[in-house]
Amino acid sequence: MSTILITGATSGLGRYVAFELVRSGHVVLAHGRDRARTERLVAELRTEGEAEGFVADLARLAEVRELGARVAEARPGLDVLINNAGVGGGTPGSGRELSADGHELRLAVNYLAPVVLTRSLLPVLRANAPARIVNVGSAGQEPLDFTDPELTRGYTGMSAYCRSKFALAAHTFTLAGELADSGVSVNVLHPATFMDTAMVRESAVTPWHSVADGAPGVLALATEETGSGGYFDGTRRARAHEETYDPDVRKRLAAVTEQLLTA
């Protein structure tokens, strides 16, 4: 059985997946932003199996790095990372929001945080190969404007969300190439369209699917051998936005990412 860290585990898809995993005998490391909610979740999970909670605000990259260090120290057997936490499009018409570090909020939480957390945990994952990284993306993908990656012009929350998920998919494919032959696989998926979550309801969208509909794809990538560098629609192998496969786009994204993380 695996030791699995899942971010954004206190609600929605993350919570559902956490219970499915712990009931299957896996050790679940549940991340949440709110300490009280995280502690309540872990108490519930422990009625089913082994679980431990970790608290961090993913909108603060220093806390993301600290999260990685704490998990690596406390759970050196970690062999699966599920980057699930995310910020949706927000309330229609709402203005541009910034993270604690001054980055556009959706880019920060949906893209920069998974990049930083993954990097901090790669030594542990490599040591425990075969290991897996699962990035929870979206079918909603919109290419970044590399002259304005933080969307200071023409901002909408949904556009910011779709750009962050485009970046996550493109990064996944680049990382898969870097990790070839390491025993660490990385894949990205669209779990299900408009699941019944707080994120979707906040966007004033009527849910189409339940979180139970979105769970099988995440669970399969976390627990089964599915190769690396893939994009999945649920459990079905699919194609991300075509530009995510463009080597020049991915090279420019990598350069911009480094600029943002060192700014």
Active site residues: 161
CB atoms within 10 A of CB 44: 15
Residues 6+ apart with CB under 8 A from 188: 134, 135, 136, 137, 168, 169, 172, 173, 230, 231, 232, 240
DSSP string, the chain: --EEEESS-SSHHHHHHHHHHHHTT-EEEEEESSHHHHHHHHHHHTTTS-EEEEE--TTSHHHHHHHHHHHHHH-TT--EEEE-------STT----B-TTSSBHHHIIIIIHHHHHHHHHHHHHHHT-SEEEEEE--S------TTSTT--SS--HHHHHHHHHHHHHHHHHHHHHHTTTTTEEEEEEE--SSBSSHHHHHTT----B-HHHHHHHHHHHHHS---SS-EEETTEEE---GGGG-HHHHHHHHHHHHHHHH-
Half-sphere exposure of 204 (CA within 13 A, CB side): 7
